[in-house]
């Protein structure tokens, strides 16, 4: 499943089903329902009772999924959504939450870059370079035994 941004949404102004929004965001329908049950997103229903994700709902869900995948906890997401719902008077608090999360993300990126660099120096890779395919990785691992 491809992860796209809400701006690249195939919605073209139309509502999406839970299957379509899940495919679009690269999540399961269970995950989309979880965010709704947790009170983080309000999803309207069709006359037949099916969830209909309008562009705003897709954008909100995309944001929630991205923040969650970056390590933001559900309690912090809940707090953020609560502040959004409270209105403009909470802008500075929301901004601080995002600044703090951005700092955590940048620290994660730095740690991942160090891990990536270490993987190219590993004595377990052929000629100290990253493997170019899974077969090479398997062969190196089997040879190391």
Q: Tokens 């809940």 label which residue?
A: 78
| pLDDT above 70 (res 62) | yes
**Least reliable range by pLDDT among 14-28, 49-63, 76-90, 110-124:** 110-124
What structural domains does the chain harbor? 6-144 (1.10.1660.10)
Least-confidence region, from 9-18, 57-66, 76-85, 103-112: 9-18
What confidence score (pLDDT) does residue 13 get? 73
Q: What is the average per-residue pLDDT within 86-110? A: 97
Question: Residue 36 forms beta bridges with which residues?
Answer: none
Of 103, 96, 109, 16, the closest CA to residue 62 belongs to 16
Secondary structure class of 19 (helix, strand, coil): helix
Count the Cβ atoms, other than its own, within 10 Å of residue 112.
10
How far, in Å, CA of 70 to CA of 85, rounded?
Answer: 22
Q: How far apart are the first and last CA of the chain?
A: 35
Phi then psi for residue 95, to 5 deg, are -60, -40
Give this prediction's pTM: 0.72
Dist CA 126 CA 62 (whole Å): 40
Query: If pLDDT is split at 50, 70 and 90, which confidence band does 3 have?
Result: very low
């Amino acid at each position: 499943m491809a992860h796209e941004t809400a701006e690249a949404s195939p919605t073209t102004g139309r509502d999406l089903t839970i299957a379509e929004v899940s495919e679009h965001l690269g999540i399961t329908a269970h995950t989309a329902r979880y965010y709704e049950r947790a009170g983080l997103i309000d999803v309207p229903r069709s006359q037949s009772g099916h969830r209909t994700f309008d562009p705003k709902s897709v954008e909100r869900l995309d944001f929630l999924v991205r923040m969650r995948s970056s390590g933001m906890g559900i309690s912090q997401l809940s707090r953020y959504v609560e502040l959004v719902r409270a209105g403009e008077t909470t802008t500075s608090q929301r901004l601080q939450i995002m600044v703090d999360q951005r700092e955590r993300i940048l620290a994660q990126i730095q740690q991942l870059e160090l891990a990536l660099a270490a993987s190219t120096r590993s004595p377990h890779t052929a000629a100290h370079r990253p493997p170019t395919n899974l077969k090479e990785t398997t062969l190196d691992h089997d040879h190391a035994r």
